[in-house]
């Protein structure tokens, strides 16, 4: 489905010429949200507030005092804190919880006059690859309602796919932006770890989590990134490295040097059509003069296990604060201190979250710590070093974003291991901390879109975006 | 107890010290003591979703100071860790601490005991955050929680099991308290909980190589109670062993009213804290330059000051007393700045000044007479304008009423300045001798002890202001002539 506008620059032209205004834009998106309500992409829509904000921004545009995001209507994944608004991480345990503060990235968007239209559904605590783990029901893919949108940021992907907003924010821990973007046919980026402050992002796995965006255009992707990025007093892991003006550097006027992992392209789990189309595309890039080399990546089979050992360890600790004592779900069956913890958490968390808390608690336990956590850390370092070494010789690593197109609702929900393997190509970037983007370049004969993933060296977002813009032309 | 010759105690102490930073360890929340419950709690202290810690640089500086003061090596690369456990006063469900990389290691303190010294190893000092406070006795049905304390920076000082007696433990904790007060990093107030101490106690036969079964004792809210608890625990364990029973691995709580310890929980059901590196905080790099800078800004420590005072000619005892508290040592040094008469400065500070503070039960920081005024009093005496007894008994009480007064002017106003005008004193002497002619004859007849009678008369005539030394000299000259 074609969006009314596919970039803010298009909108700005029409705002300038008074062909449209922010109120009309918000009304357009609200009407799409209403029409496609059954997709369950939004958990809450701020219709009144968005219209009020639109009126304010229209006034600012008239007075020529509007910020750089004036005219951009965005949706937030339900793991991002927005002052005075609910945030539930799609979990029963946070049902009704209102955030007392706004996360740094959200504040930076609001300062530039973005209009927030609502919060989107996702897998509970961002744990999942199909958006079937939400306490508030699954999300359907807007292109085929029998299919999943991917996850965990499924609602944010569908919101952009179906033109319920111009852009949306998601979070990516192992592929939670790029995989649904691929399944839904939009652009999704996961920046370098530390590029965007995590303050106000409800943590899943602290050393992996990053905020990123869903957009139709590279220009919007770049603009959002440059606005949200940069040092933050509230996040010591946010990098103080200077932020480039990515949106003004979108010309890639040289030939790229690209690495492709042979084992990745020849992976037994990969869809045959995705494989052949990706290989064809590689040939096209070669003909365009780019240099492509097939190389071996020795740790491919260790990516998913490393990811699950380390992320679940961090998650088991990060989710300890959800005990129902100071805020959140309180079970009626809690009668004393011990049952308060047991009942609130057993009844408040969903199955997948409990599975990961148990797994993470196990890998950190005395007697197992070295065999799992310590080893996981060592393997992570090896993967990171090897990836960095490759990216010192190549500009980019190219892979399909996902081994398949969007699968059917319920198809994998009983098989967590099959579900985990949906992340096989996307977990490398967060393990190594590097930026990665998925571009909606392909259409499968089954009618569903799928993406091409590019990874670049740490803080090489400018090159990554410029080359992406080149490929999207 | 005769068992004292047969058994020996092995004691290690863990001392928690709350750091006097203005804000918390990982947030900008205030740390003021005594604020209404749950008023110094931002979303970070409350552990709200999406919040992150940011470490307090002042807390690091304080921790480096205590490390240097206890002769530790300071680690360059410091990793934070999470200690995971569930408790309602622990908002995040984990405490941020240091696990495998404590900031300070391998230090020591030398305890000066009666007749011997004992060098106590410091295993480690690490940084962490405090939990909130659970109050179980304020409400008949509920435990109340105050999270003002949650997130206040702490350091934990862990000693080697080098202590052998309850007295040594007492001296060790006193020494730590003295140091943290000198460094101005903690008020050392055990009653308010800003300093806390847990003791690991075991006993073994004297000369044995192996340690006995260790028992942890908690809830000792004064240094005296640390001593009492350990004394009790040693006797309890020896009694068990003598009766042929087993000492269980245990955590025990000290009851200050009964003077006994009771079991809190068995260590067998110990928590698995699942320590792992805190992913929300990058490692802190403590450079050599930073350590040197902190070192150069450190105030003198009690032992250094004591040696300095001894080198000024003070006795070991006087130097110890004057360095017991930082404020007294500072006051003493300030008095010395205004006079070269160190002996007099000691007498004044340890005499009238300290007595007054003790009587009023105030600390010297609340003592209002400026050190400079004491120096001036010393000068007035040395110059012969006044003697010590008049200065301390007449002028000093007036100064206490009017601490900012100029002592010389005050003394003049009170007519207390000593008379050292020879002519005037000779006039008094003449008057005195004229009053008792028969006594003068007795003196000249060899009854020299009678001189004090004339002396007393001169003092009476001069209203006590005649310079006694000068008067004595002139009197004897006159009588001998």
Sequence-distant (≥ 6) Cβ neighbours of residue A312 within 8 angstroms? A205, A356, A357, A359, A360, A363
Q: Would the CB atoms of B274 and A317 count as touching at under 8 Å? A: yes
Is residue A176 flagged as an active site residue? yes
pLDDT value of residue B122 = 96
What separation in angstroms does the CA of A431 have from each of A263, A379, A412, B225?
18, 10, 24, 52
Mutate to test the interface with B, among A234, A361, A368, A378 (most CBs of B within 10 A): A234
- Residues B34-51 pLDDT 10s: 889 999 999 999 999 999
| pLDDT at residue number B480 | 76
Q: Is A144 left (phi over 0), alpha (psi -120 to 50) or beta?
A: beta
Of the partner residues B43, B53, B84, the one whose CB lies closest to the CB of residue A100? B43
Tokens of B397: 């009480």
Question: What mean pLDDT do residues A209-226 have?
Answer: 98
Residue A438 parent element (H or E): strand A436-443
Assess: ipTM above 0.85. yes
Residue B266 has pLDDT above 80, yes or no: no
- Give the pLDDT band (50/70/90) at residue B270: low
Q: What is the pTM of this model?
A: 0.86
Interface contact flag, B55 A236, Cβ < 8 Å = yes
Q: How far is the alpha carbon of A166 from chain B, nearest alpha carbon, in Å? A: 25
To the nearest whole Å, the CA of A196 is away from the closest chain B CA by 14
Residue B280 is nearest to which of A206, A321, A365, comparing CB atoms? A206
Region A278-286 average pLDDT: 97
pLDDT-based confidence at residue A132 (cuts at 50, 70, 90): very high
Using an 8 Å Cβ cutoff, are B441 and B392 in contact? no
pLDDT level of residue A53 (50, 70, 90 thresholds):
very high
Q: B78 near B199, Cβ under 8 Å?
A: no
Omega before residue A152 within 30° of 0, cis: yes
Residue B375 Rama label (left phi>0; alpha psi -120 to 50; beta): alpha
Does residue B151 contact residue B44 with C-beta atoms inside 8 Å?
yes
Average pLDDT over residues A188-202: 98
What are the pLDDT digits (tens) for A63-89? 999 999 999 999 999 999 999 999 999
CA gap B405, B369 in Å, rounded: 9
Q: State both tokens at A446.
A: 């089954």
Q: Are β-strands B215-218 and B250-255 bridged in parallel, bridged antiparallel, or unpaired?
A: parallel
How many helices (H) does chain A have, and how many strands (E)?
Answer: 17, 11
Query: What are the pLDDT digits (tens) for B383-442?
Result: 766 777 777 777 777 777 777 877 777 777 776 677 667 777 788 888 888 888 888 888
Report the greatest alpha carbon distance in chain B. 102
CB neighbours (10 Å) of residue A328? 21
- Answer whether A318's CB lies under 8 Å from A205's CB: yes
The sign of the CA dihedral B331, B335, B340, B344 is negative
8 A C-beta contact, residue A90 and residue A121: yes
Active-site pick, A77, A140, A190, A412: A77
Mean pLDDT for chain A? Answer: 95
What's the pLDDT at A440? 98
Sign of the C-alpha dihedral, residues A56, A59, A64, A68? positive
pLDDT averaged over every residue in chain B:
86
In this structure, the number of other CB atoms found within 10 A of the CB of residue A283 comes to 10
| Chain B positions in Cβ-Cβ contact with residue A234 (cut-off 8 Å) | 51-52, 54
Smallest Cα distance from A172 to chain B, Å: 15
Burial A248-270 (b: 16+ CB within 10 A, else e): ebbebeeebebbbbeebbebeeb
Q: Are B95 and B126 in contact (CB under 8 A)?
A: no
Cα–Cα distance for residue pair A314/B323, rounded to 1 Å: 49
Residues of A in contact with B43 (CB under 8 A): 100-101
- Alpha-carbon span B209 to B205, nearest angstrom: 9
pLDDT at B392: 73
Q: Judge: A235–B52 Cβ closer than 8 Å, yes or no.
A: yes
What kind and span of H or E run contains B478? helix B468-480
Distance from the Cα of B100 to chain A's closest Cα (Å) equals 13
Q: Say if CB A215 and CB A167 are below 8 A apart.
A: yes
* Chain A interface includes B269 (CB < 8 A): no
Tens-place pLDDT, residues B79-124: 999 999 999 999 999 999 999 999 999 999 999 888 898 999 999 9
Total beta-carbon pairs less than 8 A apart between chain A and chain B: 98
Mean pLDDT is lowest, of A19-23, A292-296, A388-392, B184-188, for B184-188
Would an 8 Å CB–CB cutoff place B24 in contact with chain A? no
Least confident of A409-423, B47-61, B94-108, B139-153: A409-423
Q: Is A331 a catalytic site residue?
A: no
Is residue B269 very low, low, confident or very high in pLDDT (cuts 50, 70, 90)?
low
Partner-chain residue, chosen from B52, B55, B281, that has the shortest CB–CB distance to A198: B52
Dump the DSSP string for B276-292: EE-TTSPPEE--HHHHH
H/E element holding A443?
A: strand A436-443
Give the pLDDT of residue A406: 95
Mean pLDDT of B255-262: 84
Q: For the segment A170-187, what is each residue's pLDDT rounded down to a tens digit? A: 999 999 999 999 999 999
* Rounded Cα distance, A92 and B298, in Å: 53
Predicted confidence band of residue B321 (pLDDT cuts 50, 70, 90):
confident
The contact set of A with B (CB < 8 A) is: 79-81, 87, 89, 94, 97, 99-101, 103, 198-203, 205-207, 233-237, 313-314, 316-317, 319-323, 325-327, 337, 341, 361, 364-366, 369, 373
pLDDT at B1: 46
Q: Which of A153, A176, A182, A468 is catalytic?
A: A176
Which segment of A356-360, B103-107, B136-140 scores lowest on mean pLDDT?
A: B136-140
Active-site residue, A206 included: no
Could B50 and A81 be called an inter-chain contact, meaning their C-beta atoms sit closer than 8 Å? yes
| Contact criterion met (CB below 8 Å) for A364 and B276 | yes
Q: Do A36 and A45 contact (CB within 8 A), yes or no?
A: no
- Each residue of A221-259: pLDDT tens digit? 999 999 999 999 999 999 999 999 999 989 998 999 999
What band does B138 get if pLDDT is binned at 50, 70 and 90?
confident
Decide: B248 and B213 in contact? Cβ < 8 Å: yes
């Amino acid at each position: 489905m074609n969006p009314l506008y596919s970039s803010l620059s298009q909108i700005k032209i029409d705002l300038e010429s008074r062909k449209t205004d922010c109120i009309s834009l918000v009304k357009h998106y609200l009407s799409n949200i209403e029409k496609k309500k059954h997709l369950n992409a939004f958990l809450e829509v701020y219709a009144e507030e968005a219209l009020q904000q639109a009126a304010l921004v229209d006034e600012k545009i008239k007075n020529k005092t509007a910020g750089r995001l004036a005219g951009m209507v965005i949706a937030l994944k339900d793991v991002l804190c927005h002052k005075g608004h609910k945030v539930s991480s799609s979990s029963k345990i946070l049902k009704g919880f209102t955030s007392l503060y706004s996360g740094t990235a959200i504040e930076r968007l609001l300062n530039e006059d973005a209009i927030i239209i609502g919060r989107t559904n996702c897998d509970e605590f961002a744990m999942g690859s199909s958006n079937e783990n939400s306490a508030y029901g699954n999300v359907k893919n807007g292109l085929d309602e029998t299919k999943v949108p991917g996850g965990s940021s499924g609602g944010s992907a569908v919101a952009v796919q179906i033109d319920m907003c111009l852009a949306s924010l998601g979070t990516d821990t192992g592929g939670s932006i790029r995989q649904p973007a691929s399944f839904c046919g939009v652009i999704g980026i996961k920046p370098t770890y530390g590029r965007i402050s995590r303050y106000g992002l409800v943590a899943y796995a602290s050393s992996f989590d990053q905020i990123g965006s869903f957009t139709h255009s590279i220009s919007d992707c770049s603009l959002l990134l440059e606005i949200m990025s940069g040092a933050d007093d509230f996040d010591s892991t946010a990098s103080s490295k200077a932020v480039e003006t990515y949106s003004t550097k979108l010309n890639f006027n040289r030939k790229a040097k690209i690495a492709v992992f042979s084992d990745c392209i020849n992976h037994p789990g990969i869809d045959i059509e995705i494989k052949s189309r990706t290989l064809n595309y590689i040939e096209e890039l070669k003909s365009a003069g780019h240099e492509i080399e097939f190389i071996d990546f020795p740790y491919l089979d260790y990516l998913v296990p490393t990811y699950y050992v380390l992320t679940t360890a961090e998650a088991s600790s990060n989710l300890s604060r959800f005990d129902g004592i100071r805020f959140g779900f309180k079970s009626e069956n809690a009668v004393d201190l011990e049952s308060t913890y047991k009942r609130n958490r057993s009844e408040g968390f969903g199955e997948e979250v409990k599975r990961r808390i148990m797994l993470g608690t196990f890998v950190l336990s005395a007697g197992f710590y070295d065999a799992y956590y310590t080893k996981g850390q060592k393997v992570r370092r090896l993967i990171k070093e090897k990836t960095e070494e490759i990216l010192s010789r190549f500009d980019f690593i190219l892979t399909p974003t996902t081994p398949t197109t969007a699968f059917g609702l319920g198809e994998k929900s009983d098989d967590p291991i099959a579900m985990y393997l949906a992340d096989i190509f996307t977990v490398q970037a967060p393990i190594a901390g590097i930026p990665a983007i998925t571009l909606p370049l392909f259409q499968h004969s089954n009618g569903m879109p799928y993406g091409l993933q590019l990874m670049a060296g740490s803080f090489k977002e400018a090159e990554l975006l410029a080359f992406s813009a080149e490929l999207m032309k | 107890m005769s068992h004292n010759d047969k058994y020996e105690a092995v004691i290690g102490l863990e001392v928690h010290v709350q750091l006097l930073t203005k804000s918390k360890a990982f947030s900008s929340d205030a740390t003021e003591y005594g604020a209404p419950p749950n008023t110094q709690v931002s979303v970070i202290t409350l552990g709200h979703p999406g919040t992150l810690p940011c470490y307090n640089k002042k807390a690091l500086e304080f921790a480096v100071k205590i490390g240097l003061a206890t002769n530790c090596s300071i680690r360059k690369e410091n990793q934070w860790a999470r200690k995971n456990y569930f408790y309602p006063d622990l908002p995040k469900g984990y405490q941020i601490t240091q696990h495998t990389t404590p900031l300070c290691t391998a230090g020591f303190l030398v305890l000066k005991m009666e007749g011997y010294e004992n060098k106590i190893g410091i295993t480690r000092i690490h940084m962490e955050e405090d939990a909130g406070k659970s109050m179980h006795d304020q409400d008949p049905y509920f435990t109340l929680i105050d999270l003002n304390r949650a997130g206040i920076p702490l350091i934990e000082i862990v000693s080697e099991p080098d202590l052998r007696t309850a007295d040594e433990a007492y001296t060790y904790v006193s020494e730590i308290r003295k140091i943290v007060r000198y460094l101005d990093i903690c008020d050392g107030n055990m009653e308010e909980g800003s300093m806390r101490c847990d003791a690991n106690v075991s006993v073994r036969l004297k000369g044995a190589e192996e340690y006995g079964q260790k028992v942890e004792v908690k809830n000792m809210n004064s240094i005296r109670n640390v001593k009492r608890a350990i004394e009790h625990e040693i006797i309890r364990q020896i009694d068990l062993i003598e009766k042929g029973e087993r000492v269980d691995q245990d955590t025990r709580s000290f009851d200050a009213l009964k003077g006994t310890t009771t079991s809190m929980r068995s260590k067998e059901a110990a928590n698995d804290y699942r320590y792992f590196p805190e992913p929300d905080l990058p490692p802190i790099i403590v450079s050599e330059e930073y350590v040197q800078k902190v070192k150069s800004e450190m105030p003198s420590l009690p032992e250094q000051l004591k040696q300095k005072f001894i080198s000024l000619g003070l006795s070991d005892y006087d130097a110890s007393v004057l360095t017991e508290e930082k404020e007294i040592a500072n006051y003493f040094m300030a008095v010395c700045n205004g006079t070269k008469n160190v002996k007099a400065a000691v007498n004044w500070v340890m005499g009238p000044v300290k007595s007054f503070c003790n009587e009023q039960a105030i600390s010297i920081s609340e003592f209002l007479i400026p050190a400079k005024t004491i120096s001036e009093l010393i000068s007035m005496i040395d110059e012969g304008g006044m003697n010590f007894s008049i200065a301390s008994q007449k002028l000093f009480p007036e100064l206490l009423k009017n601490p900012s007064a100029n002592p010389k002017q005050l003394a003049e106003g009170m007519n207390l300045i000593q008379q050292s005008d020879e002519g005037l004193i000779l006039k008094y002497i003449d008057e005195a001798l004229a009053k008792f002619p028969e006594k003068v004859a007795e003196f000249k007849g060899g009854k020299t002890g009678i001189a004090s009678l004339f002396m007393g008369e001169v003092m009476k005539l001069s209203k006590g202001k005649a310079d006694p030394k000068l008067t004595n000299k002139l009197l004897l000259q006159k009588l001998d002539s």
